[in-house]
Chain A
Amino acid sequence: MNKGNYTDAQLISSIKEGGSACDQAIAWIYRKHLDAVLSFIMARNGSREEAKDIFQDAVLSLLMSIQEGKFEGKSSLRTYLHAISKNLWYRRFRRSITADEYKASLNKDEIELGDPEYLLVDQDTEAQLQGLMDSLKDKCKEVLTMWAQKYSMKEIAEALGYSNEQVVRNKKNHCLKELKELVRKNPEVRNLIGELLK
């Protein structure tokens, strides 16, 4: 990294690494590209809040695509983010354009994008999943949430005050078992996960 002008390769590598390196990279990407997406959506009569919601989902989609190995850097991060934002905008708020315009926009930008709404969940689903997570004790929730975001065992130990990485590893396994039992007792949540991952 130099002078704050990060290359796509550096950003992708940091996002793959997860944890605080990923946080830094995503914060940088967010600040760098927010204005362009806001301008695009607000110029099409979208509200500032709608535009931010779209952009946040686009950043999240980028994160998932990189961490899942679905984004290989054939297009630039900027191109990807803008195309995803545009597609999400047209999908959610396409009342403002004609069907032909919508179709043309998708055809134009979907090269190597895949499905931009991959794993993005609606608010009802979000509430159900959150409810199950909330059944866990706070410490378990914290450990598992950080682990799910690919923080290293060392980072989790430092952030949550555990004495070493092995303690975190044991705690993570203990908490994961608890969550597994919760999922076992809630078949509807399991069905929901199955639907989302289809």
Chain B
Amino acid sequence: MAEQMFERIEAYLEGILPEDERLQFESELQTNPELKEEYFLQKDTRSLLKLGGQLAFKEKLKRIDQEIESEAKVVSFKKPLWRETWFQVAAVVLLLIGTGYLWMSNNYNKDQLIQQAFAEYNADPFTSRGNDDSPFAQAMQAYNSGNFEQASKSLQDILDESPDNIDAIHYLGISLYASGYSKEALPYLERSADSVKHGEAGRWIKILACFDVEGKDKCMHELSLLATEEGHPYQENAEKLYDRLNSVWGKMFAK
């Protein structure tokens, strides 16, 4: 009886009682003192939880703030490579002594730098607590172990069932990119970049994939936009890659 009353009150507070049952409930509230007492007690309990949620949320804000502080410390130690006098002199000398050689060596360096940027991103594996054995968790096991081809296959299976699963879209984009299928990865990364949940990381990997598929100027433009977007979590990564690619190509792109 008490169980039934609890669940009925819960359904009312959640707003999921059908109209006729809702009216019946409200009518009983006026005439049944026990129901009334339990109703207000349950309502107060939920209010307490709401306050508990606020407290937990403040802790989250403090963690975000700590992240910002630690990022700021790293940035304050960094002087962009292209601002170093020795670098500017060296770049001019290199350009003078062998543009042809430099061009031949550029592609290797560019790919290496982009791979390094991706490796830095990928250093933090996807984490999920508990013993979840869902198809997604299994796909992410393959992803975390670096088996991106298997992860791509499993994530594609999930998307066949649930085409709008943004987690699967995001990690499929990354897995395809990591497997060397940048062109195939881009549509998924586009959707990921447009999502709330994965927008920031999706945009970053999309830019990395861009260099395999699109022209240099377009990708450098996208990279420069991110490199100057204060507050974006991948702004510093973008700035670092932008500076390094500029040094490789021996040309300054206007930010």
Chain A residues proximal to chain B, CB less than 8 Å: 1-4, 6, 10, 13-14, 17, 20-21, 23-28, 30-32, 34-35, 52, 56, 59-60, 63-64, 119-121, 126, 129-130, 132-133, 144-145, 147-149, 157-163, 173, 176-177, 179-180, 183-184, 189-190, 193-194, 196-197
A56 in complex: contacting residue of B45, B62, B232, CB < 8 Å: B62
CA–CA, A157 and B134, complex, Å: 11
> CA separation between A23 and B60, bound complex, in Å?
9
Interface contact tally, CB-CB below 8 A: 146
Does the CB pair B226–A4 fall under 8 Å? yes
For B62, what are the chain A residues with a Cβ–Cβ distance below 8 Å? 56
Smallest CB separation, A131 vs chain B (Å):
11
A197 touches B52 (CB 8 A): no
Closest chain B residue to A13 by CB distance?
B196
Q: Give chain A's interface secondary structure class.
A: helix
**Known contacts A4-B226, A31-B64; A60 and B58 CB within 8 A of each other:** yes
Stretch from B110-118, B125-133, B141-149 at the A interface: B125-133
Asked if B55 is at the interface (CB within 8 A of a chain A CB), the reply is yes
Task: Determine if B44 and A194 form an interchain contact, defined as CB atoms under 8 angstroms apart.
Answer: yes
Task: Tell me, rounded to whole Å, the shortest Cβ–Cβ distance linking B72 to chain A.
Answer: 11
Is A158 in contact with B128, judged by CB distance below 8 angstroms?
yes
A196 to B47, CA, bound (A): 10
Min C-beta distance of A90 to chain B, whole Å:
21
Are A189 and B193 in contact (CB-based, < 8 A)? Answer: no
Q: Give B37's nearest chain A residue, CB to CB.
A: A184
Of the candidates B53, B132, B226, which one forms a contact with A148 in the assembled complex, judged by CB atoms under 8 Å apart? B53
In this assembly, does B179 line the interface, its C-beta being within 8 Å of a C-beta of chain A? no
In the complex, the chain B residue whose C-beta lies closest to that of A120 is B54
Q: Which of B212-232 contact A (CB under 8 A)?
A: 225-226, 229-232
Chain A CB within 8 A of B48 CB: yes
User: Which residues from A are CB-within-8-Å of B51?
Assistant: 119, 121, 129, 193, 196
Least distance between A19 CB and chain B CB atoms (Å) = 9
